[in-house]
Amino acid sequence: MTVLLSGSTGFLGSHLLKFFIEKGYTVVALKRSTSDTFRIKDYLDKIHCYDSDKIDLSEIFQNHIIDVVINTVTNYGRKDTKPSLIVETNLLFGLKLLEESLHVKVKAFINTDTLLDKNITMYALSKNQLVDWMKFLSSSDTKMINVKIEHMYGVKDDENKFIYWFIHQLKQNVEKIDLTSGTQKRDFIYISDIVNAYEIILKNMNCFSSFEEFELGTGESIEVRQFVNQIVREFKRKKDISTKLNFGAIPYRENENMMMQANISKLEQLGWQPKVVIEDGIKRILQDIE
């Protein structure tokens, strides 16, 4: 099977790329010319890699017979990112990729989405808009599959994301870390469980209707405060620290969703189950960044 994977240097994309190569898939990888390839450097000689900002997407589909397209490209809209840039990445690029996929009639177009309500952030809104186009353009020739992921985490995540940032603060034994009250609940799912879910979806795609949607998490939620305290407990097994966690110092963002939990029943029906518990997931991250 030949898979075209967008966002191949990102957190999720890189883990999928490694998995597909190890499983014997042919991988056509898309990245930006400015992307850091540190996550996939050991696999660059095993893939067909294209800079999506330097080549027309149609040319890639002419060069390869693509069976499945997996879109993991994401702009989270951090650091006052302009709405137009978020739309360009999350909607317009995805729509162009979708157009080319439909033109050559790939077997499936799998999109990576979020469980966030579209009114929470510009990121969530733009992702939701691409899904609307997937539904509108769905056909019997190409299966449209949307995967709504809850809070994924794991080794080699972005350094500027909360978990890695928080751990680095602990490593520096800073005096205090200001946090929200942490009573909001999230469904934390480890990256390897996410990759395994994508494999299950690929194996069963021929049984799906023209449009299918899956929620992806563990099916259980815990308070962010509990997750943070678990990181501290695991960290203290290796190093004594005096850092104070200042819960409640930061207000919740406007429209904060206080309860998020994936309904994984559809994936369970396909035989998938999450395997990595939070304690083990945190241990793997701490071992990776030692």
For tokens 């951090």, what's the residue? 78
Determine which one of 123, 153, 190, 198 is catalytic.
123
CA distance 130 to 110: 12
CA distance 9 to 38: 8
Residue 239 CB partners (closer than 8 Å, separation 6+) = 171
Q: What are phi and psi of 178, to 5 degrees?
A: -80, 130
CA-nearest of 142, 76, 84, 73 to 112 is 73
> Alpha-carbon Rg of the chain, whole angstroms?
19
Known active-site residue 123: yes
Burial of 259 (0-12, 13-18, 19+ CB in 10 A): exposed
CA distance 71 to 98: 9
Enumerate the active-site residues: 123
